[in-house]
């Protein structure tokens, strides 16, 4: 174990786990393949993009989970995240607001969203800003449907993000980091390596330098976001990317950035780019 | 379930202790729950299968399966939960097998018990220890 | 009625007479266990689905009594014998008095 590389607090935690000698969640066998419903083949491990210096190989969070948790994502009926997808499909077809429009009024069948998730977040020329999937959804609500924006990390929003993600399942993530997106990417990269909180941990401390090791009884993943929204066993609901970021930063014992704010937008682009080549899994199942 | 940070800390601390040895505090409640089902009758070891993970990644959602050919009903008990009752499966005339699976909550490392009531009025019992870990940050 | 409760059921569309089939059910429900406290330290009262039944053409397949230790979004998998074509009826009873139902037809060849 590469304990010497870890922060003292994490050394302590790791040592405690070792001392206990039990309570270590079983990590599934290497080489396990994620095929959803017996038909959608996922890329859970591939070469890292050239612009990522700290990793040779990128690995989906699915590979870090126990056999039982992995199984929950292999069949849509066993994946409780699909409850949120079902609920969002109703919202997709619901005519509402003064314009009397549903999502379907403009976009037709939700299958028209195929591929959308793979390029999010992306630079929006008109807004001259980096937009996430959530931004596009809320823009439709406020500008086209003339109804109230959803809370950025609220249930309706996260369910809709999952419905849209489902249309791209099995397609590789492919966010653009050049051109007008470049400054956002650079800002995101800076945040990724910035240590925060009392524990002085950066994203990289856990997810680049220590993935595969234990944090208490859990396996650290690479923190990839190709599986979002993620149905977490912990809170039994779908969780969005910024909500997860917030949890991570909070766990370093820091004041977090605001979900939907510019810092997490930039971070989302950078983290998404670290997973370019992994397939869209949303809604994934994680612990 | 939505946990506040405080809940998580309290549960975390509890489970950390629980990792050392199975919860004993609620054992008498579990005995009561078993007795309520069997009416105090003796149980045998064979004839029922309980499938549960040796280690659960999160105590909130633990997959378990029970199977007891010829059973009328099967009760599932979490011996270390503050309320040990989990579920009772009653098999009707069109049941294709006397088996079922579900997902349960475990408050910490503990024994999960399944008891089947057979058509002849006898009882079969199986138990399995599930270690419940409180992870780091979930990823 | 608890808000947003939605059942999902998976039943094969066809079967041979007398065949044993696998059924999966899932329903969106918080399953408030009665063990948690709110931010003021008061116990949040239990609010769960307390029974689930599956019948086929009026005959019972399985009935389940649930307690607070069943996970959020209760999931069940079980097997049924299908003697003839007909309808499966699935019923969930909520502590708050609500009942949620779903039906699925199966054709026996």
Range in A168-172, B10-14, C8-12, C84-88 with the lowest mean pLDDT: B10-14
Sign of the alpha-carbon torsion through A52, A55, A59, A64: negative
Q: Domain range spanning residue B63?
A: 5-132
Query: Is the pTM above the cut of 0.90?
Result: no
End-to-end CA distance of chain C: 39
Helix (H) or strand (E) holding A163: helix A155-166
**Tens of pLDDT along A169-204?**
999 999 999 999 999 999 999 999 999 999 999 999
Q: How far does B91 lie from chain C, in Å, by closest CA?
A: 5
DSSP A140: I
Q: How far does A91 lie from chain C, in Å, by closest CA?
A: 12
**Tens of pLDDT along A23-76?**
344 455 667 899 999 999 999 999 999 999 999 999 999 999 999 999 999 999
Total tally of structural domains belonging to chain B: 1
Q: Which residue of A has its CA nearest to B130?
A: A23
**Tens of pLDDT along A109-168?**
999 999 999 999 999 999 999 999 999 999 999 999 999 999 999 999 999 999 999 999
Q: Is residue B120 part of a domain?
A: yes
Residue A206 bears catalytic tag: no
Residue B107: which CATH number? 2.60.40.2470
ipTM of the complex: 0.94
Chains in touch with C (3+ beta-carbon pairs under 8 Å) read A, B
Q: Prior bond to A27 cis, omega within 30?
A: no
Helix (H) or strand (E) holding A12: helix A8-20
**Partner-chain residue, chosen from C32, C68, C81, that has the shortest CB–CB distance to B96:** C81
Please answer yes or no on whether A66 and B136 come within 8 Å at the CB atom.
no
Instruction: Count the Cβ atoms, other than its own, within 10 Å of residue A285.
Output: 25
pLDDT for the residue numbered A6: 41
Q: Is B32 on the interface with C (CB under 8 A)?
A: no
- Candidates C90, C49, C92; CA nearest to C68 is C49
On whether the CB atoms of residues A226 and A278 are closer than 8 A, the answer is: yes
Q: Is residue B138 part of a domain?
A: no
Q: Is residue B109 part of a domain?
A: yes
């Amino acid at each position: 174990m590469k304990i010497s590389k870890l922060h003292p607090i994490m050394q302590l935690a790791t040592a405690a786990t070792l001392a206990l000698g039990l309570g270590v969640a079983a990590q599934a066998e290497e080489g396990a393949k994620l095929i959803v419903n017996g038909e959608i083949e996922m890329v859970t491990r591939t070469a890292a993009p050239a612009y990522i210096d700290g990793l040779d190989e990128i690995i989906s969070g699915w590979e870090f989970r126990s056999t039982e948790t992995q199984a929950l994502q292999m069949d849509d009926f066993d994946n409780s995240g699909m409850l949120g997808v079902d609920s969002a499909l109703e919202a997709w077809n619901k005519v509402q607001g003064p314009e009397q429009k549903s999502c379907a009024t403009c976009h037709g069948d939700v299958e028209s969203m195929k591929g959308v998730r793979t390029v999010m977040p992306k630079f929006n020329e008109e807004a001259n800003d980096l937009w996430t999937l959530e931004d596009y959804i809320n823009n439709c609500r406020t500008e086209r449907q003339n109804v109230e924006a959803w809370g950025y990390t609220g249930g309706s929003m996260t369910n809709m993000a999952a419905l849209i993600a489902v249309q791209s399942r099995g397609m590789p993530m492919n966010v653009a980091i050049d051109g007008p997106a470049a400054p956002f990417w650079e800002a995101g990269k800076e945040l990724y390596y910035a240590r925060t909180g009392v524990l002085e941990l950066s994203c990289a401390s856990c997810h680049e330098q220590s993935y595969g090791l234990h944090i208490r009884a859990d396996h650290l993943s690479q923190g990839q976001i190709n599986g979002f929204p993620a149905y977490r066993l912990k809170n039994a609901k779908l969780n969005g990317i910024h909500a997860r970021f917030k949890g991570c930063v909070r766990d370093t014992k820091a004041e977090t950035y605001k979900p939907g704010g510019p810092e997490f937008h930039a971070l989302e682009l950078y983290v998404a780019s670290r997973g370019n080549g992994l397939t869209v899994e949303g809604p994934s199942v994680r612990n | 379930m939505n946990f506040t940070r405080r809940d998580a800390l309290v549960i975390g601390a509890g489970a950390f202790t629980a990792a050392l040895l199975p919860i004993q505090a609620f054992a008498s409640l579990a005995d009561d729950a078993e007795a309520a089902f069997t009416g105090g009758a003796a149980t045998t070891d064979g004839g029922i299968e309980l499938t549960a993970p040796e280690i659960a990644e999160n105590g909130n959602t633990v997959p378990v399966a029970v199977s007891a050919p010829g059973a009328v009903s099967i009760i599932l008990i979490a011996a270390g939960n503050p309320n040990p009752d989990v579920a009772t499966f009653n098999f009707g005339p069109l049941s294709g097998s006397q088996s079922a699976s579900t997902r349960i909550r475990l408050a910490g490392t503990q024994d999960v018990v399944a008891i089947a009531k057979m058509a002849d009025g006898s009882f079969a019992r199986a138990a399995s220890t599930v270690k419940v870990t409180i992870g780091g940050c979930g990823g | 009625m608890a808000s947003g409760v939605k059942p999902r059921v998976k039943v094969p569309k066809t079967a041979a007479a007398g065949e044993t089939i696998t059924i999966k059910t899932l329903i969106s429900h918080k399953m408030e266990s009665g063990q948690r406290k709110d931010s003021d330290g008061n116990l949040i009262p239990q609010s769960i689905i307390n029974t689930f039944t599956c019948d086929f053409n009026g005959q019972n397949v399985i009935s389940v009594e649930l307690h607070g230790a069943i996970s959020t979004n209760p999931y069940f998998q079980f097997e049924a014998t299908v003697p003839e074509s007909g309808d499966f009826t699935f019923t969930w009873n909520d502590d708050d008095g609500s009942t949620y139902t779903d039906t699925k037809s199966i054709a026996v060849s």
